Structure 1
Amino acid sequence: MNAPDQGRLALDPARHGAAIALAVIVIFNLIVTPNFFQPQTLFVNISQMATIAIVAMGMTLVIATGGIDLSVGAVMALAGALAPLIFLSDFAQANPALGLIAAIGVPILIALCCGVFNGLLVSRFGVQPIVATLILFISGRGLAQVLTNGNLQTFSHPSFSYLGTGRVLGLPFQGWLVLIIAILLSWVVARSTFGRQLLAVGGNERAARLSGIPVHRVKIGAYVICAGLAGLAGLIVVAINSASDAARIGNLMELDAIAAAVVGGTLLQGGRAPIFGAILGAVIIQLVKYTLLANGIADEVALIAKAAIIIAAVYLQQARKE
């Protein structure tokens, strides 16, 4: 076997860094962490990973346009605050079926409106994405706390709880939901006109505009999808706990989502949207948190670990370009 053949067979850290990292984490846990391969551990990690993956897929689309969305955690909190309020309303008590539809539909609709707000600020008014989404990052969670008076909201609704506790073929419902969303978004990115336009905008916005691509609409679309998925993730968190805490839902999710997207191969300068890569990144982020927790390491260390993961991912991206 000649040298070029050996090079093709070898694992390149710049291209396969995420897969290598995942393998190392799994092997470490198999050796060190008790009960790592037990079904209950698998279910817990899938449930926790699902919300990160759902938000990370939306974040991937935004980053692919050359943007960023810091408001996803606040959108999760806002959606999570609205669902119990609807369930506990007189309307929902008198009309359980319509109440369920409203408790899912209204928060998602509000989340989509948040995406329109972010997209308009970025595309129509030329506000830098980090500044535009910082507005909702600050005000969105505050609005959620105002709506709930800062109180923990508890409720019980079996059909709604299925979002967070249901099982399909023995696996958490959220895991299947992640797979369905990933397949749909992968098709959109690879096959649809919107997907091709989105990558073109991120690759070279000026050239995309000169070629007639509706840059404003593409950017707004990316932010709308991202916010809608964040709203869905917020509902899943509420469904898992049968309770809503506006101060905690989605807290620091923007960091997890960005980290998962970057680790999964999304280029920060835009032009690339690996949807399944975002899921791989979410798995890594979740397993890092689980590994630290299972081995008695403080939660604060997880923040340092996430920062190190992002730095490593960005370094590998640069190495791949050279």
Structure 2
Amino acid sequence: MTSLTWTGPALDRARARRLLQEYGVYAALAVLFVIAVGLDTSFVQMSNIRVQLFQVAPTLLVALGMALVIGTEGIDLSVGAVIALSASVVPLYLGYGLFPAVLMALLLGAASGAVGGAMVAFARIQPIVATLSLMIGGRGLAELVNGNSAKPVTQTTLLDLGSNSLAGIPEMAWIAGVCALLTGLLVRRTTFGRQLVSIGDNRQASRLSGLPVRRVLITVYVISGVLAALAGVLIVGHGAEADPANQGLNMELNAITAVVVGGTPLSGGRVRVLGTVAGALFMQLITAVLTQHNVHTSYTQIVEAAIICFAVYASQERGTR
């Protein structure tokens, strides 16, 4: 005799939860944009959109590297310090030209990422501990290099990079968009991307199957460091000064928030690049809407905290499904 079990409502709930996890950030971004326009029609003016893109571009760059690190079941708390460190060296080398200054900043970002990756891959130090030490030490080193004071930057090309637009879109946003495209191709279309996801899903099994776990981990942290350094260069160009004491503060938290809201689970094994882009835009839009309507920063932080908690809950369900 065959027994029948009614699973219709359960299947509907599972399907709804899956749709929410997969597409929730895009729906939330669209709804929030409609609300923002409804509250203030000037929000869609090109001048305001450019401002939002200027502000979100550095966060997106850092979030892309963070997404790769989280995909390996890691975390990189040093990105804010890397921004400060790269910002501190830019004025020192601008006398030799823009290219040497940018190159030195990127090399410092790569070196910081290599140190963090080596601590995780070879010394097997917990990522949060390894990168926390770099966060503290890197910030202090940046302030020492810069003389613990803000330094103005007058190099025209760098200032243009931080303020000019192309086809109405800030050049900073174009750079961030290209990096997002390359990151997506790296994750979805390369052997390295598949190895990264596999390591995040099960590091021990990946090691036993012969994957170059250490090399992949170090490379991921190097990429994160380089993207953070690039964000630091753009921040210097946009602000026309190098201020390591303040630039990059809390950027690691902003990046983690964008990644988690975008649907990449903290448990690793998956990287959602497009979701990360949407997450960064979503968090920037929330901040912009609340700020434009004179909502106190404290309430903004409470709203962001609630969103983070909900996003982490959703990502944990995905990771255990």
Q: Same-fold call, TM > 0.5?
A: yes
Note the C-alpha offset of 1:13.
2.2
* 8 Å Cα contact 1:18/1:264 also seen in 2: yes
Hey, what does 1:82 align to over in structure 2? 89
Which stretch of the first structure deviates more once superposed, 103-112 or 301-310? 301-310
1:20 aligns with 2:27: yes
Hey, what does 2:274 align to over in structure 1? 276
* 8 Å Cα contact 1:167/1:173 also seen in 2: yes
* 8 Å Cα contact 1:70/1:137 also seen in 2: yes
Q: Distance in 2 between matches of 1:258 and 1:204?
A: 21
RMSD of aligned residue pairs (Cα, Å): 2.1
SS at match of 1:183: helix
Q: Distance in 2 between matches of 1:114 and 1:245?
A: 19
Q: State the Cα deviation string for residues 217-276 of structure 1 (Å, max 9, x = none).
A: 110011000010000001111000111111111110001100000111111010111111
Note the C-alpha offset of 1:305.
2.3
Residue correspondences, number: 312
Q: Distance in 2 between matches of 1:318 and 1:61?
A: 17
Q: State the Cα deviation string for residues 140-174 of structure 1 (Å, max 9, x = none).
A: 11111111221110021111123211211121011
1:111 aligns with 2:118: no
* 8 Å Cα contact 1:160/1:239 also seen in 2: yes
Note the C-alpha offset of 1:8.
7.3
* 8 Å Cα contact 1:33/1:294 also seen in 2: no
Hey, what does 1:61 align to over in structure 2? 68
State the AA in 1 paired with 2:262.
Answer: G
Hey, what does 1:289 align to over in structure 2? 287
Identity of aligned residues (%): 40
Mind listing any 5+ residue stretches in structure 2 that lack a counterpart? 1-7
Hey, what does 1:165 align to over in structure 2? 163
Q: Distance in 1 between matches of 2:68 and 2:257?
A: 14
* 8 Å Cα contact 1:17/1:316 also seen in 2: no
Q: Distance in 2 between matches of 1:14 and 1:150?
A: 44
Q: Distance in 1 between matches of 2:300 and 2:83?
A: 21
Match of 1:303 among 275, 291, 301: 301
Q: State the Cα deviation string for residues 58-117 of structure 1 (Å, max 9, x = none).
A: 000000001000010010011011101222xxxx2xxxxx42111110011011000001
Mind listing any 5+ residue stretches in structure 1 that lack a counterpart? 93-97
Hey, what does 1:234 align to over in structure 2? 232
Note the C-alpha offset of 1:57.
0.5
Note the C-alpha offset of 1:304.
2.2
Q: Distance in 2 between matches of 1:206 and 1:10?
A: 30
* 8 Å Cα contact 1:33/1:295 also seen in 2: no
* 8 Å Cα contact 1:72/1:137 also seen in 2: yes
Q: Distance in 2 between matches of 1:32 and 1:192?
A: 44
1:51 aligns with 2:49: no
* 8 Å Cα contact 1:266/1:272 also seen in 2: yes
* 8 Å Cα contact 2:21/2:263 also seen in 1: no
SS at match of 1:296: coil
1:159-238 pair list within 5 angstroms: 159-238=157-236
* 8 Å Cα contact 2:149/2:245 also seen in 1: no
Match of 1:130 among 105, 128, 131: 128
State the AA in 1 paired with 2:87.
Answer: G
Q: Distance in 2 between matches of 1:196 and 1:319?
A: 22
Instruction: Give the TM-score, by structure 1 length.
Output: 0.92
* 8 Å Cα contact 1:72/1:230 also seen in 2: yes
* 8 Å Cα contact 2:267/2:316 also seen in 1: no
Q: Distance in 1 between matches of 2:73 and 2:315?
A: 15
Note the C-alpha offset of 1:34.
5.3
Match of 2:253 among 247, 251, 255: 255
